[in-house]
Structure 1
Amino acid sequence: MSVVDTLAAQSLAVVALTTFLFMVTETSLFVGLLVPGDVAVLVSGTTAGSVAEYAALVAAAASGAMLGETIGYLLGRRFGSRIRSSRLGTRLGEDRWAHAERLASGQNTGWALVTGRFVPLLHSIVPIVSGTLRMPYLRFITWEAAACAVWAATYVAIGSLVGGAFHDHGGRIGYAVSAALVLVILTVATVGRKVRAR
């Protein structure tokens, strides 16, 4: 059975809840450093076969991301400097922390937060940096809400197109789609490991 078939066999509630929980942990527990949320949302998007399913997955991904980023923000306010100097924080690289700091403290902070949501790995530490710099929470979450909504809508739509192509053409492209999804996941994970190693 292909990856798409396996996911399609699950109920919408299961897929949405899994997506929500993954997004919560992505930025609050640094899970996104191992498997970026982009991949998880793309994969879950392959199950969206109707407008209602699409809307439910977008809501799950966006709300999960916002909750995870809120937790990351609060961790930054409380433990920001300790996280940065921790073993994991050091492995991320000082240049990445510095870049996130520039995003969170620049003149165009809002738009920087929106665009930063589309940069894997970086968006995992921007909330912590924002909390460390004591950015007003209302300002932070307002821009992040917009960013998460656009990001989730985009990635679920792409995943839905892939899933639709699979269902329309069946076995002719089924294995190709499954292989492509696996290849994307492995590539992102490999690149992430190399980046962290550097």
Structure 2
Amino acid sequence: MNIDHLLQTIPADAVYGLVGLVVGIESLGIPLPGEVVLVAASVLSSRGGSQLTPHGIAIGAILGAVIGDSIGYAIGRRYGDRLFRLLARRFPRHVNDDVVAYAEHVFQRYGVLAVFFGRFVALLRIFAGPLSGMLRLSYPKFLAANVLGAICWAGGTTYAVYYAGRAAEAYLKNFSYAGLALAVILGILASTVLRRRLERNVEAFAASRRAEKDNPSTAPA
């Protein structure tokens, strides 16, 4: 059963709760497809006759993101490295020493800005809460960046997808499938480019760390 079919078989309030739950669990540091569920629900809300509203979806996702990140912050602050060792054993494809080291470098360098902008990047979205807690970022500052990032990411994604879907339904008509297919392809391409760029950044940072470890004299003073 795919996500689209699943979302059509449950009541609207349950969909809002499901979106918030998946986004919240992802924000705890567990690699779930929060963005995929958010986009799928937003597409369904744009269809004529749908009981779903973009407002309910956006609110559910925002609450899930804020609450999930806050719980992740508390867990990261209390358990720190032990949390990431556990995640690495459970999800080795998504969490490993190189990825965690790169994410930690980004958060140490940019602080709360990484919390805000990290909401738009899958890798950093997963690590934002736990890493911020582990690095002892100020919680009030973290919370402010977390709320703003959640509103911009969840709200922006929901309404962008909703209005794009409505436009396709209203104006494309016979060409709607082609238009939607093109939008999906463009979205996949953009996501792939971003993911590969991030993977290259992780690989470059990991190579730099190994070089410094092998040749300590080359490390910056």
Query: If the length of structure 2 is used for normalisation, what is the TM-score?
Result: 0.67
User: Of 75, 88, 103, which residue of structure 2 is paired with 1:100?
Assistant: 103
Q: Kindly tell me: are residues 59 and 74 of structure 1, through their superposed partners in 2, closer, same or farther at Cα, counting changes over 3 Å? A: same
**CA–CA distance in structure 2, aligned partners of residues 124 and 62 of structure 1:** 15
Identity %: 24
Larger displacement relative to structure 2 (142-151 or 54-63):
54-63
Worse overlay, 88-97 or 78-87: 88-97
Say if 1:27 and 1:124, in contact at 8 Å, map to a contact too: yes
Instruction: State which structure, 1 or 2, has the greater radius of gyration over its C-alpha atoms.
Output: 2
Whether the 8 Å contact between 2:23 and 2:35 is mirrored in structure 1 is no
CA contact (8 A) 1:41 1:61 kept: yes
1:9-48 to 2 correspondence within 5 Å?
Answer: 11-28=11-28, 30-32=30-32, 35=33, 37-48=34-45
Q: Deviations over 1:5-59 (max 9, x none)?
A: 8746754312211111111111225133xx2x22221111113349x92222111
Unpaired runs of at least 5, structure 2 = 204-221
Aligned-partner residue type, residue 36 of structure 2: V
Q: Which residue of 2 aligns with 1:134?
A: 136
Change in CA separation of 1:128 and 1:160 when aligned onto 2, cut-off 3 Å: same
Once the two structures are TM-superposed, the CA of residue 163 in structure 1 deviates from its matched residue by: 2.9
Q: 2: CA distance between counterparts of 1:14 and 1:23?
A: 14
Alpha-carbon shift at residue 69 of structure 1 (Å)? 0.9
State the shift of 1:82 in Å.
0.9
Taking the TM superposition and a 5 Å limit, the aligned residue runs for 1:1-198 are 7=7, 11-28=11-28, 30-32=30-32, 35=33, 37-49=34-46, 53-86=53-86, 87-88=89-90, 92-106=95-109, 108-165=110-167, 167-168=169-170, 169=172, 172-174=175-177, 177=180
Q: CA deviation at 1:131?
A: 0.9
User: Partners of 2:5 and 2:36 in 1: how far apart?
Assistant: 17
Name whichever of 37-46 and 79-88 sits farther off.
79-88
Deviates more, 1:80-89 or 1:37-46: 80-89
Compared CA separation, residues 182 and 15, structure 1 to 2 (3 A): farther
- Greater RCO, 1 or 2 (C-alpha within 8 Å, sep 6+): 1
Structure 1: runs of 5+ lacking an equivalent: none
In 2 relative to 1, CA 5–127 (structure 1 residues): closer, same or farther, beyond 3 Å? closer
- Supply the distance in 2 between the matched residues of 1:162 and 1:3 (Cα, whole angstroms): 19
- SS of aligned partner of 1:31: coil
Q: CA, structure 1 residues 3+67, in 2 after alignment: closer, same or farther (shift >3 Å)?
A: closer
Cα pair 1:77 1:132 within 8 Å, conserved = yes
Aligned residues between the structures: 187
Following the alignment from structure 2 to structure 1, what is the Cα–Cα distance between the partners of residues 67 and 177?
34
The letter for the 2-side match of 1:97 is V
State the TM-score, normalizing by the size of structure 1: 0.74
